[in-house]
Structure 1
Amino acid sequence: MTVERSDAGAVIEDGNIATSSPILAIDATGLMLWPPGKGLAGIPRVESFLVNAALADPDPCVEVVVFRSGEGRFRPLAPYEQDHVAAGEISPHRVKRWPGLRVALSQAFEAVRQQPWAKRETDRHLAKTVTNGRKGVAYQATRLLIRFYRLCQRMKIGLGLPLDAASQPAGAEQGLALISHHILTQEDRSAVSGEAGKLAFLCHDIIPALRPDMLGAGTGERRFGSYLEHLVRQGAPAFCASDEVGATLTEHMREAGIAAPVVYRFPMPSILHANASRAGTTSRIEGGEPFVLYCSTIEVRKNHILLARIWQQALEDGVKLPRLVCAGRWGWMIEPLRAYLKAHPELPQSVTFTGLVSDEQLIQYYRSATFGVFPSHIEGWGYGASECLDFGVPVIVSTTPSLIEATGGLMPAIDSNDQAGWYAAIRKMADDHAWRSSLAERIARQHRPTPASASWAAIKAGLRESASRRF
């Protein structure tokens, strides 16, 4: 056995890296559920940034994992899973190569011997691992073979026959896992149990606990509050992009009679602007039809219906407003909005709903928008508002504290229920070129996009400090 110690304090045994420091793990479970090639927005965009920052980090103490519900623990990504989530370079320390069909099948059988009572979901994952993520006849045959082998192991247990020998599972390394939002909303309680290991969590917001009326009946996020409280009771630190969310989380726990969590504040990365910078597409595009941009999922708390009413009021008043472009996928509890649009068939003349758009198209929108709007009732951050500033676009926001924080207090803010105030501000922003220009100049003087490296450094430092406290 060859044993070497790297500069980072890692021990390399037979080509495998084992660290003498706690592993800092980033959970990719939620990102694995997002279809490859689809545009990312909101929470998936932030989690993609985190996962890819970890994959690119040469520090061998950093790992990327997914939660295996059949085993009740986090495991490093399989090769096909790395391919699924990777958006850039993967550090050589973490490159996973497919070992070949024979070795992969042997490893799958070993996993069955160690966990004979795992569910069908585990068999599907093992089959994907054996076939390196490829679907088709080979995958289906492998899945059936693994399932048959599992049933044989269970039959032997039932009959009291000797089982195929299973090696002892490798002991879990000490480490701290920063879990994905999916873990906070899924049904498998074992993901946040003490058995899953030491956990930290990204607290994008606590809207599911504060305003469940804005999520709709039957949503999985109803579990959010109890899981969040359980994590805090277990001592899990919170990573928040805004001071407002950190303060709200602390107050929420105080009201629940739970000791305040350790909160780490990290700057929200300007991911879209970084993509535009790499492509050389950050400068303004002048000319063309003026339009107002609202980039957000279309859901009840985002308050699109306020804007629909304002543009309808302008039509009735004979006021010419720029076209409103609402970029984002359709979400939940939008029946009142759909009913309003149906009742006012002339609105599509001045309001466009684009659906989910690519990063390239969204960058084009930001580069050419006259100004932005963000009238959301409640936010954890408000990516569309801060992205406006990243591209130098003035934006009107609601008075929800996180939006004011996301825009640095630089932009006009109006109560989300004040239709008259919004109507007046939108008309002024559309007509008063001098005011728009002064706001754009304010952005240029006082706002700078946040590099992803700064965000990752803050998160990694927080994880390292928390791990040093707990191990």
Structure 2
Amino acid sequence: MTVESPDSKTVIEDGGERRPPRLAIDATGLTFWPSGQGLVGIPRVESFLVSAALADPDPSVEVVAFRPWEGRFRPLAPFEQDHVATGEISPWRLKRWPGRRTAMSQALEAVRQQPWGKRDADRHLAKTVTHGRKGIAYQATKLLIRAYRLYQRARVRSAPRQDVPGQPAETERGFVLISHHILTGDDRVAVSGRAGGLAFLCHDLIPTLRPDLVGMSPGEARFGSYLEHLVRSGAPAFCASDEVGSTLTDHMQQAGVTQPVVYRFPMPSILYETASRMGETSRIEAAEPFVLYCSTIEVRKNHILLARIWQQALDEGVKLPRLVCAGRWGWMIDPLRAYLKAHPRLLERVTFTGAISDEELIRYYRSASFGVFPSHIEGWGYGASECLDFGVPVIVSTAPSLIEASGGLMPAIDSNDQAGWYAAIRRMAEDPEWRSSLTERIAKQHRPTPASASWAAIKAGLQASASLRPKS
């Protein structure tokens, strides 16, 4: 069932005291994202969530990461907080690195408490000691921690039974909104009852519905079973589109699983807010007209359709504007690479930018003639809604989530209809009156969504779900 997020701050009883339910946002996925690389897609949404939680003065909100060697979520270490934070952090939540000596003492104590931790635990502890810095000091620290762990294991094996160090008591980490990394990870413990009360962001069900369009890792192959386990355990889903919420409900019904609790939240206009802070939202003239497609380059995004259309134009002597494909290269793209190799003239009219910064992407949106988004299937389609945020007309596929993301305001064509796409792209390029009418439609009927509104809806849903959890 879909639930409207309440505005009230529900409280729970605990030993006669009333307090707000503890809410945690999982930053595990972001801790693995390469430093300095621009955020796109799901990581961009999760970065917004983590940043909102770090900036929220509410003491019931925290940011955590999953520790597989402990089977639980823990607050971020200072180096992790520095890595994932992209904005303001509430002063009381800001963690300071205690210095190498204190950090080493704490790391060795953690090893003493849990001598059976694996090498990933040693790597994490070494980073806490060196504040995330790599190099000789990190390598030496990691070896020292490993040696101490082996010593503690030997001590445990030889010690009398009563001297064996026990595991620290499981601490309640509150109600955790897990990251996509957990849903596609390899550790089943992360989605089990041992990890505490969970909620999840359901960006899409593509690994389950269209595995042929996804580079299936072992974790993604288990994606469907993880979702079913979460829903069975009562974990609510947070969906940015009505389409994904309905798809999730239908899928669970077909799988014989209890109807999920679904919270709908508005997708935030993150890039537009960044541009607003920079004072760079107005239109600028490009040196030459171009069409923009902002998306990771992968088979699901259907770049090969656009390549065929631009090649058709070359063959017919039709001059289309340059096509700019903004985004990093992804997976299952051998057919596209082969097509580009077989048609070398295409690269005279098609540009692949690779990964770019937010500043570069903002300039593209401000100067694009129009956008295209021919993806076969989407959970939302950020590139489509971002076009509208910047007042840029966009042609989308008939994927329901893309029509929803563009508010039903833009022309939509089946992702396999090359003739239809070719005609629409030519009309958009050659008919300025039609293009202007779409621009006016955007100005009248679309408004960017503030990140604060999205965070408020997600937080309210988490509060409602946490307050309904039975006390253990």
TM-score bracket, normalised by the shorter chain, equals over 0.9
CA shift in 2, pair 1:145/1:277, >3 Å: same
1:167 and 1:342 mapped to 2: Cα distance? 61
Contact 1:396–1:411 (Cα < 8 Å) also in 2: yes
1:455 aligns with 2:463: no
Aligned to 2:153: 154
Structure 1 position 263, deviation (Å): 0.4
Identity %: 77
Aligned to 1:286: 285
Aligned to 1:127: 126
Contact 2:393–2:439 (Cα < 8 Å) also in 1: yes
Aligned to 2:233: 234
2:345 and 2:134 mapped to 1: Cα distance? 47
Task: Determine helix, strand or coil for the equivalent of 1:148.
Answer: helix
Structure 1 position 436, deviation (Å): 0.3
1:23 aligns with 2:22: yes
Contact 1:157–1:163 (Cα < 8 Å) also in 2: no
Structure 1 position 166, deviation (Å): 5.0
Trace 1:322-333 onto structure 2 (pairs within 5 A).
322-333=321-332
1:224 aligns with 2:216: no
1:379 and 1:354 mapped to 2: Cα distance? 22
Encode CA deviations 1:267-297: one digit per residue, 9 max, x unaligned: 0000000000000000001252000000000
Structure 1 position 218, deviation (Å): 4.1
1:346 and 1:255 mapped to 2: Cα distance? 48
One-letter code aligned to 1:152: Y
Structure 1 position 145, deviation (Å): 1.6
Contact 1:156–1:163 (Cα < 8 Å) also in 2: no
TM-score, scaled relative to structure 1: 0.94
Aligned to 1:140: 139
Structure 1 position 158, deviation (Å): 2.3
Aligned to 1:213: 212
Contact 2:10–2:463 (Cα < 8 Å) also in 1: no
More displaced, 218-227 or 35-44? 218-227
Contact 1:176–1:467 (Cα < 8 Å) also in 2: yes
Aligned to 1:15: none
2:10 and 2:400 mapped to 1: Cα distance? 41
Structure 1 position 167, deviation (Å): 7.7
Trace 1:27-426 onto structure 2 (pairs within 5 A).
27-161=26-160, 166=165, 169=168, 171-173=170-172, 175-218=174-217, 220-426=219-425
1:72 and 1:171 mapped to 2: Cα distance? 10
1:363 and 1:136 mapped to 2: Cα distance? 35
Structure 1 position 97, deviation (Å): 1.3
Aligned to 1:3: none
Contact 2:267–2:454 (Cα < 8 Å) also in 1: yes
1:20 and 1:287 mapped to 2: Cα distance? 55
Structure 1 position 9, deviation (Å): 9.4
1:287 and 1:191 mapped to 2: Cα distance? 48
CA shift in 2, pair 1:201/1:54, >3 Å: same
Gaps of 5+ in 1: 1-6, 11-17
TM-score, scaled relative to structure 2: 0.94
Task: Determine helix, strand or coil for the equivalent of 2:344.
Answer: coil
Contact 1:22–1:174 (Cα < 8 Å) also in 2: no
CA shift in 2, pair 1:164/1:273, >3 Å: farther
1:117 and 1:167 mapped to 2: Cα distance? 11
Contact 2:156–2:164 (Cα < 8 Å) also in 1: no
Structure 1 position 260, deviation (Å): 1.2
1:90 and 1:249 mapped to 2: Cα distance? 34
2:29 and 2:137 mapped to 1: Cα distance? 26
One-letter code aligned to 1:72: G
Task: Determine helix, strand or coil for the equivalent of 1:94.
Answer: coil
2:100 and 2:317 mapped to 1: Cα distance? 69
1:356 and 1:99 mapped to 2: Cα distance? 35
1:188 and 1:438 mapped to 2: Cα distance? 51
Task: Determine helix, strand or coil for the equivalent of 2:74.
Answer: strand
More displaced, 108-117 or 181-190? 108-117
Task: Determine helix, strand or coil for the equivalent of 2:325.
Answer: strand
Contact 1:113–1:165 (Cα < 8 Å) also in 2: no
Contact 1:201–1:236 (Cα < 8 Å) also in 2: yes
Structure 1 position 171, deviation (Å): 4.3
1:8 and 1:176 mapped to 2: Cα distance? 13
2:24 and 2:96 mapped to 1: Cα distance? 19
Structure 1 position 422, deviation (Å): 0.4
Structure 1 position 339, deviation (Å): 0.7
Contact 1:242–1:402 (Cα < 8 Å) also in 2: yes
Structure 1 position 175, deviation (Å): 1.1
Structure 1 position 22, deviation (Å): 2.3
Contact 2:11–2:21 (Cα < 8 Å) also in 1: no
1:174 and 1:314 mapped to 2: Cα distance? 58
Contact 2:10–2:467 (Cα < 8 Å) also in 1: no
CA shift in 2, pair 1:170/1:106, >3 Å: farther
Task: Determine helix, strand or coil for the equivalent of 2:462.
Answer: helix
How many residues were matched structurally?
458
One-letter code aligned to 1:185: T
RMSD across aligned positions (CA):
1.9
Contact 1:24–1:176 (Cα < 8 Å) also in 2: yes
1:307 and 1:250 mapped to 2: Cα distance? 33
Structure 1 position 102, deviation (Å): 3.0
Structure 1 position 223, deviation (Å): 1.8
Task: Determine helix, strand or coil for the equivalent of 1:118.
Answer: coil
CA shift in 2, pair 1:135/1:39, >3 Å: same
Contact 1:176–1:200 (Cα < 8 Å) also in 2: yes
CA shift in 2, pair 1:218/1:178, >3 Å: closer
1:179 and 1:150 mapped to 2: Cα distance? 30
One-letter code aligned to 1:85: V
Task: Determine helix, strand or coil for the equivalent of 1:98.
Answer: coil
Contact 1:398–1:414 (Cα < 8 Å) also in 2: yes
Encode CA deviations 1:317-341: one digit per residue, 9 max, x unaligned: 1111101110001111111111111
Structure having greater relative contact order (Cα 8 Å, sep ≥ 6) = 2
1:106 and 1:163 mapped to 2: Cα distance? 24
Structure 1 position 226, deviation (Å): 1.1
Gaps of 5+ in 2: 1-8
Structure 1 position 219, deviation (Å): 5.6
One-letter code aligned to 1:21: P
One-letter code aligned to 2:76: L
